Structure 1
């Protein structure tokens, strides 16, 4: 086994915590972790085409359809057909259906706000930049993994 780097362990603990939190939110809401990821995606980007959701989450078309079915049944989203082309379907969040989801985020927000209070206003952009770069790095690594497995 290779030499262990303490910084790697800290980062791995972070990753485990994020995955476990997403699973706990999904369990609380009676959803799948990918469903929660889709809600977060729609929160960030606004209404998206079904294909865009599939691409962003790396899911096959049939799995994305089932995911949207679950979110629609739970009252989180609705499908909207295109006005000009009825074959196009966009998925949008239902604001009045997000109460339970928002409630699951209160605890995390409280803990994250406490962390944010430890840093100066000048440090926050650096931390957010780091998180942004980490996100881009994981998306690139994900694309590489998916490309090499197909």
Structure 2
């Protein structure tokens, strides 16, 4: 077994649990769905990720958006300009600090995104509702653990 750059981390992974592999498949399916949604809306994948973040977390400042996307401030400015020109986002004054700007998805972008994602969301909800209360609790706890691991 070869060792990785840290000299104690092997380049190969151990045999992974079925649930770990299933999570990787869900992540891949999510990337594919984002790519299809971005094509549907006529924007690139990073722009679609920005819209998704704004939908999920609500309006935020450009610096926070840049941080969540993992891009630099000048790049997020160009991204916001592009999305604003296409009518997908709008800039408003920050509610507590008029020197700052907040970016939010427009109602039109919200409707277009929801129209595209609705079938997937409803299918996932149907699968979720088929779970027993104990299964639901186990799945939710597991997914929270997965999110914590991915954010660490």
Interval of TM-score (by shorter of Structure 1 and Structure 2): 0.7 to 0.9
Higher share in helix: 1
Other-structure match for 1:134: 146
Contact between 2:61 and 2:102, CA under 8 Å: does it hold in 1? Answer: yes
Compute the TM-score of the two structures, normalised by the length of structure 1: 0.78
| Largest Rg, 1 or 2 | 2
1:144 is matched with which residue? none
What's the counterpart of residue 87 of structure 2?
A: 75
Deviates more, 1:53-62 or 1:82-91: 82-91
| Residues 100-147 of structure 1: CA deviation (Å, up to 9, x unaligned) | 11111112112202211320234324322322222222122xxxxxxx
TM-score where L is the length of structure 2: 0.77
Contact 2:65 / 2:76 at 8 angstroms: preserved in 1?
Answer: yes
Tell me, yes or no, if the aligned pair for 2:59 and 2:103 is still in contact at 8 Å: yes
Is residue 27 of structure 2 the alignment partner of residue 15 of structure 1? yes
Instruction: Tell me how far apart the structure 1 counterparts of residues 16 and 96 of structure 2 sit (CA, whole Å).
Output: 56
User: Number of residue pairs matched?
Assistant: 140
Q: Do the aligned partners of 2:87 and 2:109 also contact (CA within 8 Å) in 1?
A: yes
Unaligned runs of 5+ in 2: 1-11
User: Does 1:54 find its partner at 2:66?
Assistant: yes
How far has the Cα of 1:2 moved from its partner?
6.0
CA gap of 1:17–1:82, structure 2 versus 1, over 3 A, is: closer
**Gap runs ≥5 in structure 1:** 141-150
Alignment RMSD: 2.4
In the other structure, the counterpart of 2:100 is 88
3-state SS of 2:133 partner? coil
- What residue in structure 2 maps to residue 112 of structure 1? 124
